[in-house]
Structure formats: structure tokens, C-alpha cells
Amino acid sequence: MLIDVREPLEYAREHIEGAALLPLSRFDAARLADREGRVIVLHCQSGQRSPQAACKAREDGCGVVELEGGLAGWKHVGLPTIVNPRAPLPIMRQVQITAGSLVVLGTGLGWLVSPWLLILSGFVGCGLMFAGLSGWCGMAMMLGRMPWNRVKAPILGEE
């Protein structure tokens, strides 16, 4: 049984056919308990999050294996995925588009209207530096709550 531990937005955009969704943020190994006799394979985007889920599952006595390289590895060897081009872009791409737009806007307004408006570009730059240093991105949190990013995806155990 293939378990995708990415978030619903990522799953909605692209996933492996037949993979069940159980996001790392809501991972509960108890949801895998009734899958006895099946090999449970965990995967994420690139193989960074699935080890965390595997560790949680093993702590609860559930035997799991990890898909090496995640979804990216799956695609690298030419295996198919289901892609929904209508699903929202990944959050980090939305952050890049929004931050880049604000920097361009602040620079343009600073040049055309008032140098004081360059503060906008500086503020966005500081926010990006903070996100990189801390691992917490307020813009990503805000964008994640936007209506277009509220996707419904069937989460294992919540169907």
C-alpha cells in the first residue's frame, strides 16, 4: 500500500495513482494498523519527509518502508503520475511569485513616486531572510489560508 505523506495541496496537484494520502502534519500510525499483511510504502516529494513519518510509524510498532527519492524519484525512472493542472501552484511557488511581485512593485514605486516606497522591497527581503534562517514563512502561512488553496483530498482514515 502506497501512502503519500505530503500535504493535501501537493497531493491534489500531482500524485501516484492508487496512493492514499496521510499528511505528515496529521500523521497517525494508528490509521495504518488495519492494513496488516500489506507492505506499507511511505513517500513524499523528494524523500525528506517520509523518514519522519516512517520514524513515527515504527515508534508505534508499524512496519513501513520508504520509497527512495519520493515522487521525484518515481518520475525520474519514468513511472506515471496523475497531474491536475487546475490545482493551485505549490505554496513556495506562490511565495516566490508574490514576493517577487512586491519587490518589483516597491522598486518601481520607489523610483517613480518616492524613495520611501523602497521600504516595501526591503521589508519583503527581510521577510525572505527570516524565512530562510528560521524555517517559518509568514507569507506561506497566509497564502496557505487563501480560498484557492483550500483543496479537498481524501485523507486515509477520514473518508
Q: Has residue 149 got a pLDDT over 90?
A: yes
For residue 36, pLDDT over 70 is answered with no
Q: Cβ(35)–Cβ(55) under 8 Å?
A: no
Residue 44 annotated to the active site: yes
Provide the CA 36 distance to its chain's centre, in angstroms.
28
Helix (H) or strand (E) holding 14: strand 14-15
Q: What angle do CA 12, 14, 20 make, to 5 degrees?
A: 70
Phi, psi (degrees; rounded to nearest 5) at 91: -55, -45
Domain boundaries, the chain: 2-83, 91-149
Other Cβ atoms within 10 Å of 61 Cβ, number: 8
Identify the CATH assignment for 2-83 out of 2.40.30.20, 1.10.287.3610, 3.40.250.10, 1.20.120.420. 3.40.250.10
Residue carrying C-alpha cell 495504518: 32
Q: Annotated catalytic residue: which of 44, 55, 62, 137?
A: 44
For the chain, give the percent of residues with pLDDT over 70: 97
- pLDDT at residue 37 tops 90: no
Q: What is the pLDDT of residue 82?
A: 97
Q: How confident is the model at residue 52 (pLDDT cuts 50, 70, 90)?
A: very high
Which residues, listed in sequence order, are joined to residue 65 by a DSSP beta bridge?
A: 41
Based on its alpha-carbon atoms, the radius of gyration of the chain, rounded to whole angstroms, reads 19
pTM, full prediction: 0.81
Q: Quick one: pLDDT at residue 78?
A: 96
pLDDT (mean) for 17-25: 95
- Give the pLDDT mean for 93-120: 97
CA distance 155 to 57: 17
State the alpha helices, DSSP H only, in the chain.
8-13, 50-59, 70-76, 91-112, 118-134, 138-144
Give φ, ψ of 155 to 5 degrees: -90, 135
Whether 15 contacts 82, CB under 8 Å? yes
Other CB atoms within 10 Å distance of the CB of residue 107: 14
Tell me which residue has cell 502534519: 25
